Structure 1
Amino acid sequence: MTREDLIAAYTAAGRHYHNLAHIEDCVAALARIDDLSAREREILSEAIWWHDVVYDATRADNEERSAELAEQHVRADIAEEVGRLIRLTKTHDVKSGDRLGAILISIDLSILGAEPARYDAYAAAIRQEFIHVPEADYRAGRARVLGHFAAKPVIFPDAAFAAKYDQKARANLARELASLR
């Protein structure tokens, strides 16, 4: 798959949040991190570009399928690490000491700490991706997901992201959770 193929995947119909704008936001967040080696930056860049390449809101294996595609198409010497990082985006759980995992997950979740209007647009886009789910079921499922993040002592495993986004994220999560009840 070429970069054009990736762009085509991210611009496919039905992608309201997990689209090219999300990838561009993630790439921009990566660009703001100064203390990465060239290899770390390349691994994270590939993980960002591939992490949502397969996205079907009716399936539970998007991350695995995205990781497998990445492992087939990125350079062999980084493929395993890129795949590992992508698989972390299924649970967003990162082990202590996993710096690249902490950065990728924090980048992926940074929308949670956006300004309220931007967060609300994200929440509306997620609802559109799950438009096939009846309203009551969506509200219950979304509340469960958001409650999971809100209950975590640390939402963003990277300390710099946590310092920048944690308070805003908790406020956004609380506001959306209240609207779902």
Structure 2
Amino acid sequence: MTIPENRHPAHDDLRERWTRTLLAVRRPEADLPPGTPSPYAYAEDLLARWAEPHRRYHTTDHLIAVLDRVGLLSSHCEGPEAVAAVLLAAWFHDAVHLPERSTNEERSARLAERALPEAGVSPAVTAEVARLVLLTATHDPAPGDTSGEVLCDADLAVLAGTPQEYAAYAAAVRDEYAFLPDHAFRAGRADVLRRLLALPTLFRTPYGRDHWEHAARRNLTTELELLTAGEATD
């Protein structure tokens, strides 16, 4: 069997991970209407989205990283159903990603609102998944929103990489926005970095604060300095 060129090596494992998560929260098989699609159908659609050729940072590797970090932080959630909702939100949070659009989080949340009820997930869990997806637009969950804290920390943990890892991340982000001229990209990216640095804390879980906060602020500050130096030479 020929494997498609854009098929990720972890494709089959991810399909099983999705299925386990979905089955943990959807209605019992006997309560599902006839013709309810297989969980695999949703996994294939989502994985195809994450493998779109225009993506450079928001790729299947990013999905894997966020899922793994949700697992690392899962004890901060309020029970197994909350963990499952965060995992589902991780699957959907960048499922729609068009770099030239500013509505990706909203469109990703709407995708979850359409797909999850069809897959047999309750309205309450669907609403929670959509809410969590929308939080990734600001990465600023309310105090006590433990599920939001876990998803946002998992998504932002890339900021705490080594200088070499962070440089690779920043370069991939630039590649996704290759359609922008340098001056426009620098201005927009600098605004994003300033917004993140203005947050009282980047990370809200105890693990995130202890392990990621210092390195992330160092990396963001360094990138912002490089961007503003570039602006000065325009």
The two structures share one fold, judged by TM-score above 0.5 = yes
Q: In structure 2, which of residues 63, 66, 70 is the aligned counterpart of residue 23 of structure 1?
A: 63
Q: Does 1:54 align with 2:86?
A: no
Q: Normalising by structure 1, what TM-score? A: 0.96
Distance 1:34 1:147 in 2: 29
Distance 1:93 1:59 in 2: 21
Q: Does 1:108 align with 2:148?
A: no
Q: Normalising by structure 2, what TM-score? A: 0.75
Q: Does 1:63 align with 2:105?
A: yes
Residue 73 to residue 14, structure 1, CA distance change in 2 (3 Å)? same
Q: CA offsets, 1:62-104, max 9 Å, x none? A: 1011001111222124100000000011111111111101111
Q: Does 1:135 align with 2:182?
A: yes
Aligned CA-pair RMSD: 1.2
Q: In structure 2, which of residues 148, 160, 165 is the aligned counterpart of residue 118 of structure 1?
A: 165
> What's the counterpart of residue 165 of structure 1?
212
Amino acid at match of 1:24: I
Q: What is the deviation of 1:34? A: 4.7
> What's the counterpart of residue 149 of structure 1?
196
Amino acid at match of 2:93: H
Distance 2:71 2:186 in 1: 35
Q: What is the deviation of 1:142? A: 0.7
Q: What is the deviation of 1:56? A: 0.3
Amino acid at match of 1:103: V
Q: Does 1:78 align with 2:118?
A: no
How many equivalent residue pairs?
A: 181
Identity value in percent: 36
Q: What is the deviation of 1:157? A: 2.1
Q: CA offsets, 1:112-154, max 9 Å, x none? A: 1111111111100100111111101111111111111122220
Distance 1:152 1:134 in 2: 28
